[in-house]
Amino acid sequence: MPLNQAKYTVDIIDGTRCRVIESTIDENRIRFLKDLLSLNNYEVKVDRDAEGKYRIGVTDVTFNPVIAVYERKLKSMTGHWVTPAYWFCPVIMK
């Protein structure tokens, strides 16, 4: 789910209520988001559907990625603030 989406859902992932951050994404995007969110002390849960696509969520159901990115509440792997450009950068995901 992109940063321009206002509403994020809460669903059960791996037996735990989670705020779903993105869904129907591939392994590279999952790896990037999981590393980024774990670095920022969020417990991350990942689920895979029958078509091989993934969805990722965090156990903090109050987490909102729009607020976290635009208010500079997330740090990148290099210690810089996560910006929208960093959040969506395809080079980082490879």
Q: What does the mean pLDDT of the chain come to?
A: 88
Q: HSE of 42 in the Cβ direction (CA atoms, 13 Å)?
A: 27
Domains and CATH numbers, the chain: 10-88 (3.30.70)
Model confidence pLDDT, tens digit, residues 22-55? 988 888 999 999 999 999 999 999 999 888 889 9
Which residues contact residue 27 at a Cβ distance below 8 angstroms, ignoring those fewer than 6 apart?
54
